Structure 1
Amino acid sequence: MLRLRLLTWDMKDTLLRLRLPVGESYSAEARAHGLHVPVEVLTQSFSQAYKVQCQHLPNYGLEQGLSSKQWWLHVVMETFRLSGVHDDSVLRPIAEKLYQDYSSARNWELLPGASETLQQCCQLGISLAVVSNFDRRLLEILTQCKLQQHFEFVLSSEEVGFAKPDRRIFLEALRISGVPPWLAAHVGDHYVNDYRAARQAGMHSFLVKTAGQPAEWDAEVPKEHVLASLPHLLSLIEKG
C-alpha cells in the first residue's frame, strides 16, 4: 500500500462528467432561441471548433490576452457557424447562456463513488486538492456539485497559467501543500495530461479507466495504477 499525504485530482471525467453530450445541450439551447440545428451536426462542429481553438489559443488564450469567457464564446459561436448559423445577433445570446449553463450543477453530475471516495480519503488524513485544465468557473462548479468542501485548494490551468501536461502546475500544487512529491499522487483519466505528467513531476499517479482510452495506454500503465472505479483507490493507499 502507498503512504500519501497529498492527493490531487483531475476534475472532468474523473470526479464530474457532463450530464448530456455537448451536441445535445447546444441543440436544446438553439431550440429555445427558435433555431433547429441537428445534434449530430453540432457534435461534429463542436469537435472541430474546439480542436482548432485549442491548437491556436492554448490554455484559453491567456498568452494572447484573452479571458476564458471570450475563448469559450468564440468556440460556441464558431460551432454554430460551422453548423450553418451565421447571425451573430442570435449566436451571442446563445453563447452567453451556454457559458452560464456550464457553470451550473444542472449540466454536471458526479461519477459513481466520487463523493464517498473523497470523504474517506479525508478521513485517512490525506490532504486533497484539484489540479485541472479548466477555466475560472471550476470552483463554482465544484461548489454547486457539493465537492468543494473536500479540497484544501483548487488549481485551474487558467489561474496558474500552466496547463497539463506542463509539470509546473503539479509543482505549484506541491509548493502550496508543502508535501514532497514522493508523498503525493494524482488521480486523472488522461494518460498524458494526468498519469504521465504527474510522474514527471516526481509524484505517484493513478489512471481512471474510461471506455475511450487508447489501447496503447493500457500497455504503458501497470495494472496496480489503473482504477476500475474511484473507490478502488482506497485499497491502494494507507493513512498519511
Structure 2
Amino acid sequence: MVREVLFDVGSTLVRPCPSVAETMARVAAERGHALSTDDFAVHMPAMEAFYEAEYRRDGDFWCSQEGSTTIWLDQYRLVCRRMGLEHDAEGMARAVHEAYRKPGQWGVYPDVSACLDGLEERGFALGVVSNWDAGLEGLLQGLRLLPRFGAVVASAALGRRKPDPAIFEAACAALGVPPSEAVHVGDRPDADGDGAAAAGIRPVIVDRAGAEEGCGYERIRRLTDLLELL
C-alpha cells in the first residue's frame, strides 16, 4: 500500500523560466555586452555536458551549500569563457546565479497543481527530496508550493545527496511513513531511480521527452499520469 509520494524538484516540479540562455543574455546586456539569447543558446549543450561530467565524476558538490553554489558558478563561467567573456566571467556567473535564487526565475510545470491536488484528495503524504542548495524551502515558498509538502529534504542541508538512500530515508522519517509504503518521482534514473530503489522506495521516472525508455523503472510522461499509476 502506498501512503506517501516524494518528489524531486528540478526538471520534475520546476524548470528555469526564463531559460538560462535568456537570463544570461539579459545579464550580459545589463553589464554592457551586446549578445543575444541565441548567442548563449549555442553553448547550452556544452554547459549541460560539463555538469553531467562533473556529476558522474563526483556529485558530492550537492552535499554542501558551498559545493552546490560552486557547480552553478562553474557552469556559467564555462559559458562565458566560450563566449569570449573571460574578463567578466566571474561577474556574469555571480549575477546569473543570484538571479536563480529568486522564485520569479523558476516556472512550475503545468501538470504539477493537478497532480498534487489529486494526491492530496486521496490522502497521500507528500514530500520533496532534491539535490539542491539550502535555499530550497524558500524557493518552494516563493512558488507557493511549500504548504503542499510535509517534508522538504535538500541535499546541501542534510549533507547527503541522491542516490544515497539516507536522503530518502530522512524524508520518510519526517513524514512517519516507512520506505516500503512510499513512491519517489523524479527525472533521473540514476539519482532518483537507483537511490529510491536502494532505500526500498518504489521509483517512478517522469520522462517528459520520452528519452528514458530503457531505464528499467516505471515511467510517466506527465505528473498527472501518476494518479492513474497509483
Q: Does 2:194 match 1:234?
A: no
Give the alignment of 1:134-173 within 5 angstroms.
Answer: 134-173=132-171
Q: TM-score, normalised by structure 1?
A: 0.83
1:170 and 1:61 mapped to 2: Cα distance?
15
Same amino acid, percent of matched pairs: 27
CA drift of 1:67 comes to: 4.7
* Contact 2:15–2:109 (8 Å) recurs in 1: yes
1:70 and 1:228 mapped to 2: Cα distance?
32
CA drift of 1:53 comes to: 4.5
Aligned to 2:82: 82
1:227 and 1:52 mapped to 2: Cα distance?
26
Q: Does 2:17 match 1:13?
A: no
Cα gap change, 1:163 to 1:22, in 2 (>3 Å): same
Secondary structure, counterpart of 1:128 in structure 2 = strand
Name the Cα RMSD after superposition: 2.4
Give the aligned length: 227
Structure 1: segments with no counterpart, 5+ residues: none
1:232 and 1:47 mapped to 2: Cα distance?
28
Aligned to 1:39: 40
CA drift of 1:125 comes to: 1.9
* Contact 2:68–2:132 (8 Å) recurs in 1: no
* Contact 1:103–1:140 (8 Å) recurs in 2: no
CA drift of 1:189 comes to: 1.4
- Whichever residue aligns with residue 132 of structure 1, its letter is S
- Whichever residue aligns with residue 205 of structure 1, its letter is P
- Whichever residue aligns with residue 180 of structure 2, its letter is W
Aligned to 1:59: 60
Q: TM-score, normalised by structure 2?
A: 0.86
CA drift of 1:48 comes to: 4.8
